[in-house]
Amino acid sequence: MKTTCAASLAALLLLGSTSARADIDGFAPQPETVTPRVHLIHRPGSTDAPDEGNSVVIEQSKGLVVVDAGGASPIGRSVVREIRKISRKPVKYLIYTHDHGDHNLGAGAFLKAWPHITIISTDATSDDMGGAPMDYLKTYSRDYAGEIDFAKQQLERADLLPEVRAGWQQLVDAGKNIVNRYRNMKAYLATLTFSDRLSIPDDETPVEVLYLEHADRNGGVVVWAPTEKVLYTGDILVEPLPSAAAPNPASWIQVLDRVAAYDFAYLIPGHGEVQKDRAYLNKTKATLAKVIDEVTPLAKKGVALADTCKQTDFKSLTEGLSRLSHTGQAIVQGTS
């Protein structure tokens, strides 16, 4: 769990006075009605480990469209149970927004519940999920065990901020549960892929799935329900702290500009709470721009990342916040 200086600045600007949410809730997803035909299934406090992505349920006239399936088999089963409470209609389509396991490794439960389901992703996401990017599944449980051991070491420190200590403690307390969840993981590939855009027509609630440039590696999409004015972004936007979702921060801002072009009433991020205005989206864009302004001059001079941290003194501001670590590296490496 390493941090970078740029990451720390961005996290500080976005975090404000928000403290870490260290609730132990068994990681059970809970439903939330967004509109009468759109529901969010998420784990409150989802910034705490394990990092579970949101799932969105869209009701069409003859079936359901679900976006993202949870990050482990037990989570997938929980999501399926919640879906059945929402509607008796079958799930006809399951969409992967991207290849990150916390959004799709629960798919096995969907296939068991609805054997004729169509799984949708971009071509790039399908390639990644069938290739080397998923090799981490072989050691997923063991890697989490190592992370928990590291958390125990951090708790021995006397200089931790209270919110940072609470986060490490939550990870330790949940450790056994986490390790058990990530044993014997399997990726389920899409049965229908597309390159740029895919429509799921319906007289009542049509759905559009769109690939927005090279967000979140090569496969990030947004899912748009125009009649409901609901936009789900996957990890292109994550709340309350953004995570790197594009090859470099400048292109990430461009993707967020495309998100902002939608006339949405509800913006659902890949993690976190439903956004009912544009405040968080605008804050994310402004924060990325500020980090770029701070770091780019040093990067152009060839200043190494470690030295950039020393010169800007970002590290001391938000110790222990790691969600943005790749952002700082991308700024330094991508603009030099």
Stated pTM of the model: 0.80
What pLDDT is attached to residue 123?
A: 93
User: Which domain CATH number covers 124?
Assistant: 3.60.15.10
What pLDDT is attached to residue 322?
A: 38
What pLDDT is attached to residue 180?
A: 82
Query: CA–CA separation, 107 vs 189, rounded Å?
Result: 9
User: For residue 91, is it within any domain?
Assistant: yes
Query: CA–CA separation, 223 vs 252, rounded Å?
Result: 18
- Mean of the per-residue pLDDT values of the chain: 81
Compute the radius of gyration of the chain from its Cα atoms: 20
User: For residue 118, is it within any domain?
Assistant: yes
Closest Cα to residue 157, out of 317, 314, 320?
Answer: 320
Low-confidence stretches of the chain (pLDDT < 50) are 1-25, 46-47, 215-216, 314-336
Considering its fold, how many domains does the chain have in total? 1
Question: Which two three-digit tokens encode residue 280?
Answer: 């968080």
User: For residue 129, is it within any domain?
Assistant: yes
What pLDDT is attached to residue 246?
A: 53
Which residue do the tokens 């590296």 mark? 329
Query: CA–CA separation, 83 vs 147, rounded Å?
Result: 32
User: For residue 130, is it within any domain?
Assistant: yes
Query: CA–CA separation, 167 vs 147, rounded Å?
Result: 13
What pLDDT is attached to residue 23?
A: 36
Q: Can you say how many angstroms the Cα of residue 243 is from the centroid of all Cα atoms in its chain?
A: 7
What pLDDT is attached to residue 182?
A: 81
User: For residue 67, is it within any domain?
Assistant: yes
What pLDDT is attached to residue 181?
A: 79
Give Cα separations from 158 to 108, 149, 154, 220 (angstroms).
Answer: 43, 17, 9, 40
Query: What is the domain range of residue 32?
Result: 19-135+184-277
User: For residue 68, is it within any domain?
Assistant: yes
What pLDDT is attached to residue 25?
A: 43
